[in-house]
Structure 1
């Protein structure tokens, strides 16, 4: 998509919010010459999530949340949050498996409560499972992805005790978590099509028979390292989202990709497990993709939707001009109300 005023330039409601509303005072500058303050960012995010969670417990949305400890392939345990509608014990519900956003180096289950899950909990009776995967740079690629895949297989092994309908599964994510959810979708789709993933554990999951991923829900997703975006797709969004134009810049996102990289493999951005846009998408489940015009991740998300269409997959792309990355955290923004309505439409079409 080429640069157009009605795509990147702030919408009237977002411009007003930056000037007078809840976004007033947010930084719109970013100094790429300074190392990314990832430790401070992570702590600031944790503090914000704690405050939000205290004011907005799952019970506010009619849900309860239980923490599970789940062993990963290396023997470590991670925290996995399981959400159910109150008074639904024993019912086999559809399940949404969520890989949280935060650029792989920050965030937790709470960030998705803010970005998308509160609307889902308000309008749907669905189980939600969110692994708090280990973060970069301490656990670079493919560490977080491995944790998410291991947790997904754990959930499938324990569908009886968790009590969900394994023929009614949605994969979902926001931002950096989108790469993780997309890779899980690719693996599940390929397994359902009969491709051998080389693991007895995967074969026992019964993809395509007793295990059905009905769709993948991607909110402002990161899907391709910018150094490896195929040349056949437009690539202007990183440059457009420069310091002084929006609250999340291409320079910042580029440093986040670098933070996620395996230091021993600087070319890992070309790996489809890191950049799922580069993968074969012929077996990808149905997809619903939500894209912001002022987002540096815009072009790779639109390219993913285009590639899915070219692969004859079921895909719907919802586009919001003139608003930034994860704009839906601003409840008073006009586009947020449209987004929440679109979330209901998109998810409803996958669960029908």
Structure 2
């Protein structure tokens, strides 16, 4: 299933420093393959951005389109070191494998900040789709444990509610790219072990199950109104707003899942891309203390 992801492994971004590492798991898993990107000829330390690729928890890699372009645009907008984990996908290893790999990557980055040339606090985390769900999950754990200080998070159209009981999750049955059927497959794969053992689904597996939104970092997100994640994304942002968390959010009418990547030349996609990097720049300037 993930052969198409593997053929992209090691692909580089021209004009940037590129590195591949295999870092140790803290949970008894295999070493985690990570890609590290940063501007060339850097003097001094930079802030860290962890970028978590999408794929509904079952597909993808850091190097698959459009991930490298996304990473490049973040670095070009504001100088930072980007670390992108090739976390385990659910068809090979269900929850908590992907979650642990992403959180362990953040811990490793903090422990190795000097070598990486980064500040050991004020981290940023971003991801799209399933990567957005993992972004919300690692942000939640960082809030709970205080292991890592996050300056802000960017879960774009995040996959965060396994219950799939919102109106958009139930009704989006024939939309392109990701619909109710593919959503069910993704969650069934990711939560297989928990469900097989009749275990309760924790918020670290599905961030919408969290009920306490105090002390979250500032948050940037957007979502289209023709996709399963619309309602859960809006509910998540509203919960943060109710706690006074600084948020930037846009709802794109007439847009299906991943529209910004699949139809990049459409005006609505160009607007979403501009919103992404303008918002990133704004929050970077506001919350990254260099």
Tell me the TM-score normalized by structure 2.
Answer: 0.89
Q: Does 1:298 align with 2:230?
A: yes
Structure 1: how far apart are the matches of 2:104 and 2:52? 12
Aligned to 1:110: 63
Tell me the TM-score normalized by structure 1.
Answer: 0.74
Q: CA deviation at 1:296?
A: 1.1
Matched-pair contact (CA < 8 Å) for 1:70–1:79:
yes
Matched-pair contact (CA < 8 Å) for 1:78–1:132:
yes
Pair 1:331–1:75, CA change in 2 (3 A): closer
Aligned to 1:226: 163
Structure 2: how far apart are the matches of 1:276 and 1:331? 29
Structure 1 range deviating more: 295-304 or 154-163? 295-304
Pair 1:46–1:79, CA change in 2 (3 A): closer
Q: CA deviation at 1:124?
A: 2.2
| Equivalence map 1:101-250=2 (5 Å) | 101-111=54-64, 113=67, 116-192=70-146, 202=147, 207=148, 212-227=149-164, 235-243=166-174, 245-250=175-180
Q: CA deviation at 1:147?
A: 1.1
Structure 1: runs of 5+ lacking an equivalent: 1-38, 193-201, 230-234
Structure 1: how far apart are the matches of 2:177 and 2:127? 21
Pair 1:269–1:350, CA change in 2 (3 A): farther
Q: CA deviation at 1:268?
A: 5.4
For the pair shown, the structure with the greater C-alpha radius of gyration is 1
Matched-pair contact (CA < 8 Å) for 2:141–2:204:
no
Q: Does 1:263 align with 2:196?
A: no
Q: How many residue pairs were aligned?
A: 280
Alignment RMSD, CA only?
A: 2.1
Structure 1 range deviating more: 111-120 or 285-294? 111-120
Structure 1: how far apart are the matches of 2:258 and 2:69? 7
Structure 2: runs of 5+ lacking an equivalent: 286-290
Pair 1:339–1:351, CA change in 2 (3 A): same
Deviation string 1:209-257 (CA, Å, 9 cap, x unpaired) is xxx3110011111111134x5xxxxx221233212x4332111111111
Bigger relative CO (Cα 8 Å, ≥ 6 apart): 1
Q: Does 1:285 align with 2:217?
A: yes
